[in-house]
Amino acid sequence: MVEYLIPFKGLSIGKHDFQFHVDELFFVEKKSDIVTEGDLTVDFTLDKQSRNMTSDMSIKGTISLICDRCVDKFDYPIDVTYHQIFKFANAPDIQEDDIIYLGDKEYQLDVSELILENILLQVPIRKVHPDNEDGTPACNPKQLKLINKFTKKKQVDPRWDALKNIKFDD
């Protein structure tokens, strides 16, 4: 994705600000199954130094999620900041959790993966509409009625209750 490439070789030492827009096209090109729509703004500050670079990224906006309860779409707000360290090294196969190593032959930085990872890390495990101000679910009322209709517990056959009282000698 060309619009998310930063050619750092041509940048002077110091801070450089970039801004990116993330929308449906971004998620389609990244082949994301979890998030397919969104409207986010990414503010990316790259601080280039002689042997390393640091970045501060701020992602704000909303993504569209499908509610696990009622299967309707809803907007989920995202507001996250992230700090990353990049180091220049002759052996770019070195891996650490908080440092990305760049080889001497690399001349540009693709920030699309960093953006996608940080968005996906904000997606909750259980995706449901936020409750209304009065505490009631904001889900589709028709779906909630159907759920309640089909999840009511059936009465247990009273003959089985008698078996609960049987005592066994150990």
CA dihedral 90, 91, 97, 98 (to 10 degrees): 0
Backbone angles phi, psi at 33, to 5 degrees: -90, -25
Band of the pLDDT at 99, cuts 50, 70, 90? Answer: confident
What does the pLDDT look like over 103-151, one tens digit per residue? 878 889 999 999 999 999 999 999 988 888 888 878 888 888 888 787 7
Q: What is the pLDDT of residue 1?
A: 73
Tokens of 103: 């080889």
Select the more confidently predicted residue: 81 or 141. 81
3-state secondary structure string across 61-87: EEEEEECCCCCCEEEEEEEEEEEEEEE
Mean pLDDT of 92-113: 81
